[in-house]
Amino acid sequence: MLRGSTTVRRTSGTPAGAAMTLTGAVALPVALAVALSGCVAEAPVTPTASSSPSASPSAAAAPGVEPSGEVRDVATGLAAPWSIAQFDDGTVVLSERDTARIVRVGESGALATVTTVDAAAPAGEGGLLGLAPLEAAGERWLYAYLTAADDNRIVRLAVTGTGESLALGAPELVVAGIPKAGNHNGGRIAFGPDGMLYATAGDAGDRDAAQDPTSLAGKILRMTPDGAAPSDNPFAGSVVYSLGHRNPQGIAWDADGQLWAAEFGQNTWDELNRITAGANYGWPVVEGAGGQDGFVDPVAQWATSEASPSGLAYVGGTFFLASLRGERVWGITPDPTAETVEIEAYFVGEFGRIRDVAAGPDGALWFVTNNTDGRGDARPGDDRLVEAALRPLGEG
């Protein structure tokens, strides 16, 4: 298990000479920037002691967690799994990108096909992508983001039964018209603490569309469970929530309800961003921290060889970030003051490409590998759903 420290950038609002608190002894090609209030980053500075906190710590924030080293296979024999979804009763389902199957994971790890989403048209990086359950007001739904013949779209399937009796109804359209391509389809969906559905949409190979607020490409989208634009969205009548994204594939909320997102860069920097309504994250004008007016710089950035990030999960005060090309899970623990960020790398090269991460049972971390997606080296049992035990950060 590898742990790594990083180089540092400071942002507006951080005194000159201040730096992040980082742990570990192995330097990795990662650059960070603390986003205190969505400010634009300034030039890199030499790491020194951390500055005195100026913000009040969140009472809800946890001190952070890390893998303890104990791992086990929950399920094996998956085909390019893309998303982990868990219902309130503990039933777990996964999406498979290329088969368009939604599979249930039994207690013994046995896999059962619940349904195949026939509207999906898998090709390249498209297919059946993100899943998100919704259980509220006596209704149970499973939402799915998929690449169809002509576009990317979000559908929902009515849920009945639990466990082995789980069944899904016919897909109902929620939103259509998200541009598609052989790559850069985005595809992650999740319900936020505000009850709204959020979705990541890639630029679908049209770089300039990411800066066009009338296009759904290169955006993070926010909508009601029925697919309508909420009245408090930043662009009236539109589901666009933020713009200037290349190919975001991970979204998660911290203990204070702040939205964060992970994004594939092009050739230089992958990003982790704090997302605010109406903000512009720079693509294609800026990749990584550019320090340009009008664009929000990332909280953290990695060389693309070290990340290629997909799923993102917040567990016990730490964000865990699945990395495909980087073949690892990154742990990012923001200090409750929002003044420092601690970053560590786990499972480097141990499991190959990692597509999604999620909170597992009993405080554990779950993740799925992606070595059968055409870009990895499949190993016996791939692809697999893995459980990693967690412990308080720094106890190892």
Distance between CA atoms of residues 358 and 73, nearest Å: 15
Residue 223 has pLDDT above 90, yes or no: yes
- Give the best-scoring range by mean pLDDT among 40-44, 152-156, 339-343: 152-156
Residue 20 has pLDDT above 70, yes or no: no
- pLDDT tier at 376, thresholds 50, 70, 90: very high
pLDDT mean over 68-73: 97
- pLDDT tier at 51, thresholds 50, 70, 90: very low
Q: For residue 100, give both structure tokens.
A: 């368009």
Q: What angle do CA 303, 291, 275 make, to 5 degrees?
A: 75
Residue 34 has pLDDT above 80, yes or no: no
Question: Range with the lowest mean pLDDT among 55-64, 81-90, 95-104, 284-293?
Answer: 55-64
Distance between CA atoms of residues 30 and 8, nearest Å: 8
- pLDDT tier at 58, thresholds 50, 70, 90: low
3-state secondary structure the chain: CCCEEEEEEEECCCCCCCCCCCCCCEEEEEEEECCCCCCCEEEECCCCCCCCCCCCCCCCCCCCEEEEEEEEEEECCCCCEEEEEECCCCCEEEEECCCCEEEEECCCCCEEEEEECCCCCCECCECEEEEEEEEECCEEEEEEEEECCCCEEEEEEEEECCHHHCEECCCEEEEEEECCCCCCCCCCEEECCCCCEEEEECCCCCHHHHHCCCCCCCEEEEECCCCCCCCCCCCCCCCEEEECCCEEEEEEECCCCCEEEEEECCCCEEEEEEECCCCECCCCCCCCCCCCCCCCCCCEEEEHHHCCEEEEEEECCEEEEEECCCCEEEEEEECCCCCCEEEEEECCCCCCCEEEEEECHHHCEEEEECCCCCCCCCCCCCCCEEEEEEEECCCC
Please tell me the total number of residues recorded for the chain in this structure: 396
User: In the block, which residue shows the tokens 């790491």?
Assistant: 47
Distance between CA atoms of residues 215 and 123, nearest Å: 22
Residue 63 has pLDDT above 90, yes or no: no
pLDDT value at position 39? Answer: 35
pLDDT mean over 188-193: 98
CA-CA distances (angstroms) from residue 215 to 143, 282, 287? Answer: 22, 15, 20
**How much of the chain, in percent, has pLDDT values that exceed 70?**
84
Distance between CA atoms of residues 205 and 246, nearest Å: 9
Distance between CA atoms of residues 390 and 315, nearest Å: 9
- Per the prediction, the chain carries an average pLDDT of 87
pLDDT value at position 350? Answer: 98
pLDDT mean over 361-388: 96
pLDDT mean over 343-349: 97
Residue 57 has pLDDT above 50, yes or no: no
Nearest to 156 by CA among 204, 185, 119: 119
pLDDT mean over 253-270: 97
pLDDT mean over 305-333: 97
pLDDT value at position 137? Answer: 87
Distance between CA atoms of residues 371 and 33, nearest Å: 31
Residue 114 has pLDDT above 80, yes or no: yes
Residue 53 has pLDDT above 50, yes or no: no
- pLDDT tier at 396, thresholds 50, 70, 90: confident
Residue 29 has pLDDT above 80, yes or no: no
pLDDT mean over 74-90: 97
pLDDT digits (tens, 9 = 90+) for 144-165: 999 999 999 999 999 999 999 9
